[in-house]
Amino acid sequence: MSQTVGRALSILEFLADEPRSLGQIADHLSVHKSTASRLLQTVEAQGFVRRDDRHIYRLGPRLLNLAFRTLAAMDVRVAAAPHLRRLGELTAQTVHLGVLDGGEVTYIDKHEGSQSVRMYSRIGKAAPLHCTGVAKAILAFRPDDERRVLAERIAYTPFTKRTITTPAAFLGELERIRTRGFAVDDREHEDFIHCVAAPIRSPEGEVSHGLSISTTTMSLSRKQLLELAPLLLETAATIEKELG
Amino acid sequence: MSQTVGRALSILEFLADEPRSLGQIADHLSVHKSTASRLLQTVEAQGFVRRDDRHIYRLGPRLLNLAFRTLAAMDVRVAAAPHLRRLGELTAQTVHLGVLDGGEVTYIDKHEGSQSVRMYSRIGKAAPLHCTGVAKAILAFRPDDERRVLAERIAYTPFTKRTITTPAAFLGELERIRTRGFAVDDREHEDFIHCVAAPIRSPEGEVSHGLSISTTTMSLSRKQLLELAPLLLETAATIEKELG
DNA sequence: CCCGACCGTTGCACATGTTGCAATGGCCAT
DNA sequence: ATGGCCATTGCAACATGTGCAACGGTCGGG
């Protein structure tokens, strides 16, 4: 494990939400300012950080460049993008695409329909496995032994009164999803937000991706939300067909 | 300048377009595999890199997370997003938002209308100063001395037969833009692509951002493209108003 | 099944790259 | 003009990163 690299990456993290001065960065790293200055010179030279004329540092365009190149290289995301958009337009709600990777599910695309509202999700953000539609939809169709291992490893943070909090309850929910063919998050992650989500199978029949429609309980009743399931499943099937 | 940090960042760059093996990464860095392995352990532990069960490395979700947090913290981008979208819907073409930063213009938002086609631009990518509409629109409204300095510093790569290739011609073009109030890229960067672009002023009256509509010469004639200028300028003005 | 080739990882010693200190120069407010 | 704060740079000490060698795992061929 490289201490110096860890420090540089911590700088990137620290600058993600807000620009900072050298002093703030040095304090954050618990290093001398001269050390922080040299680290910043390196990350700045490679475009990962920019500083303005008042010596305030913020993340630079290189990071955006890498991130969007990565997104552009994701086959499933590329194939799914026009369908997400169409789904968002048809439903006017927020549509997500998530991927299971290294034991967590990450949002890799999002389309906000005309009536969508602000919610937790953002591209690059982890979707908690036990209480988000997209994560549940993916996990339900993973191999048995993997489902069991993951269920034991989850920290069952209760986000709302309705959040699933035990491995047994979670595995039961995954069984219901397998039977039904799609997942429902019924205010388990955020109060007033519910969603339906479907798995997307790869050409090899493996499920690593999921597609969801999220909305507020004020916008759509549970009944209305469930009425979107056929469209959702059809969209997932269309994406699967395009994947080959 | 930190050598070790530079190596780690080079790894991130190397993995942006394609997953790689440890050996490929070590070769790329010209270091021993054990050194590369340890560097990778660090960037992996912080989520910047992921590896699969066949020991193939690729960029991880942390980078996406940072990139989208950065985008969410850009006031102008946030304010402009719904307007970009509306403009894309109204025109059916590709709409861009760029920002001048550290002597280069970077695309920070993009909306593809229903008739848009693939083109060079991507969020995070630099827009060449001398031949893209959005960059020219920004530079035209920078302070005099800055315009002059930047014009001298540009490497006038001739992307097409129509690309501006001298500082004098470039400064003349910027004068025309100042007079007209908006910029035109007439196949100067990509054959068959033309666009109109407008500056976006900050509340302090400073121009660091620009908005453009890009399309193919097959989709819209020059005349039709120019007919979009009023809508473009009106959209820029609306964004400016929202910025306060 | 055995062997060889290739892979990635880890302990080790040591070379070198990183670090904090002190000095310097710049900027701003009094 | 002065003092305080800032960031940067030269220096030398030393902590950490490095390559080597050994190891264990996997795969393909005989």
Taking a C-beta distance cutoff of 8 angstroms, is the pair A166, A152 a contact?
Answer: no
pLDDT value at residue A110 = 94
Smallest Cβ distance to A101: which of B1, B48, B50?
B50
Taking an 8 Å cut-off on Cβ atoms, the answer to whether A68 and B123 are in contact is yes
* CA–CA distance, B14 with B29 (Å, rounded to integer): 9
- The answer to whether residue A61 neighbours chain B at the CB level (below 8 Å) is yes
3-state secondary structure of B186: strand
- Going across the sheet that includes A56-59, the strands are A20-21, A56-59, A49-51
The domains spanning A3-66 and A74-243 adopt the same CATH topology: no
Taking an 8 Å cut-off on Cβ atoms, the answer to whether A63 and B50 are in contact is no
- Give the nearest chain B residue to A106 (CA atoms): B61
Taking a C-beta distance cutoff of 8 angstroms, is the pair A187, A160 a contact?
Answer: yes
Burial A197-228 (b: 16+ CB within 10 A, else e): bbbbbeeeeebbbbbbbbbbeebbeeeebeeb
Give B9-39 pLDDT, tens digit per residue: 999 999 998 899 999 999 999 999 999 999 9
Q: Residue B5 CB closer than 7 angstroms to strand C?
A: yes
pLDDT value at residue B184 = 97
Smallest Cβ distance to A70: which of B46, B59, B125?
B59
Length of chain A: 244
- Chosen for mutation from A63, A64, A202 (greatest number of chain B CBs closer than 10 Å) is A64
pLDDT value at residue A108 = 96
B21 CA to D24 C1' distance (Å): 19
- The answer to whether residue A104 neighbours chain B at the CB level (below 8 Å) is yes
- Give the nearest chain A residue to B81 (CA atoms): A112
C-alpha separations of B225 from A18, A196, B96, B199, B200 in Å: 38, 42, 15, 17, 19
Bases of chain C below 7 A from a protein C-beta are 6-11, 17-22
Taking a C-beta distance cutoff of 8 angstroms, is the pair B132, B154 a contact?
Answer: no
Mean pLDDT of A178-205: 95
Q: Residue A39 CB closer than 7 angstroms to strand C?
A: yes
pLDDT over 90 (residue B244): no
Cα angle vertex B230, ends B143, B175, to 5°? 30
* CA–CA distance, B96 with B123 (Å, rounded to integer): 9
Give B117-150 pLDDT, tens digit per residue: 788 899 999 999 999 999 999 999 999 988 998 9
Percent of chain A with pLDDT over 90: 86
Smallest Cβ distance to B2: which of A42, A59, A104?
A42
Distance from the B68 Cα atom to the nearest Cα atom in chain A, whole angstroms:
6
Distance from the B42 Cα atom to the nearest Cα atom in chain A, whole angstroms:
5
Q: Which amino acid is at B150?
A: L
pLDDT value at residue B68 = 95
A57 CA to C29 C1' distance (Å): 24
Taking an 8 Å cut-off on Cβ atoms, the answer to whether A124 and B59 are in contact is no
Interface ipTM: 0.90
Mark out the alpha helices in chain A (DSSP H runs).
3-14, 22-29, 33-45, 61-72, 75-91, 133-140, 144-153, 167-180, 222-226, 229-243
pLDDT value at residue A215 = 95
Mark out the alpha helices in chain B (DSSP H runs).
3-14, 22-29, 33-45, 61-72, 75-91, 133-139, 144-153, 167-180, 222-226, 229-243
Sign of CA dihedral A112, A110, B122, A202: negative
Percent of chain B with pLDDT over 90: 86
pLDDT value at residue B120 = 86
Poorest-pLDDT segment among A230-234, B113-117, B153-157: B113-117
Report the greatest alpha carbon distance in chain A: 61
- The answer to whether residue B69 neighbours chain A at the CB level (below 8 Å) is yes
Mean pLDDT of A17-35: 91
pLDDT value at residue B88 = 92
pLDDT value at residue B114 = 83
Poorest-pLDDT segment among A6-10, A53-57, A66-70: A53-57
Q: What is the number of helices (H) and of strands (E) in chain A?
A: 10, 9
* CA–CA distance, B209 with B15 (Å, rounded to integer): 30
Phi-psi region of A195 (alpha: psi -120 to 50; beta: other; left: phi over 0): beta
pLDDT value at residue A36 = 92
pLDDT value at residue A171 = 97
Percent of chain A with pLDDT over 70: 100
CA atoms within 13 A on the CB side of A2: 27
pLDDT over 90 (residue A87): yes
Smallest Cβ distance to A64: which of B12, B65, B123?
B123
Q: Which amino acid is at A81?
A: A
Q: Going by C-beta distance under 8 Å and a sequence separation of 6 or more, which residues neighbour residue A186?
A: A162, A194, A222
For residue B85, report the phi and psi dihedrals to the nearest 5 degrees. -65, -45
Query: Which chain A residues are within 8 Å of B6, Cβ to Cβ?
Result: 42, 45-46
Bases of chain D below 7 A from a protein C-beta are 5-10, 16-21
Q: Which of A185, A95, A71, A104 is nearest to A137 (CA)?
A: A185
pLDDT over 90 (residue B189): yes
pLDDT over 90 (residue B53): no
Mean pLDDT of A6-19: 92
pLDDT value at residue A114 = 83
What does the block give as tokens for B40?
A: 């990778």
Q: What DSSP string describes B39-83?
A: HHHHHHHTTSEEE-TT-EEEE-HHHHHHHHHHHHT-HHHHHHHHH
3-state secondary structure of B97: strand
Give B218-228 pLDDT, tens digit per residue: 999 999 999 99
For chain B positions 224-243, those within 8 Å of chain A (CB to CB) are none
- Chosen for mutation from A4, A5, A105, A118 (greatest number of chain B CBs closer than 10 Å) is A5
For residue B35, report the phi and psi dihedrals to the nearest 5 degrees. -65, -45
C-alpha separations of B203 from B137, B181, B242, B243 in Å: 18, 18, 9, 6
Percent of chain B with pLDDT over 70: 100
For residue A97, report the phi and psi dihedrals to the nearest 5 degrees. -125, 130
Mean pLDDT of A192-205: 94
The pairing of beta strand B207-216 with beta strand B193-201: antiparallel
pLDDT value at residue A54 = 81
Mean pLDDT of A196-211: 94
Count of CB atoms within 10 A of residue B37's CB? 14
pLDDT value at residue A72 = 93
Taking a C-beta distance cutoff of 8 angstroms, is the pair A40, A47 a contact?
Answer: no
CATH architecture classification, A3-66? Orthogonal Bundle (1.10)
pLDDT value at residue A53 = 80
* CA–CA distance, B174 with B196 (Å, rounded to integer): 14
B54 pLDDT tier (thresholds 50, 70, 90): confident
- The answer to whether residue B34 neighbours chain A at the CB level (below 8 Å) is no
Q: Going by C-beta distance under 8 Å and a sequence separation of 6 or more, which residues neighbour residue B96?
A: B84, B107, B109, B110, B121, B127, B134, B197, B211, B212, B214
Domain ranges (residues) in chain A: 3-66, 74-243
B115 pLDDT tier (thresholds 50, 70, 90): confident
Domain A74-243 has CATH 3.40.50.2000: no
For chain B positions 2-21, those within 8 Å of chain A (CB to CB) are 2, 4-10, 12-13, 16-18
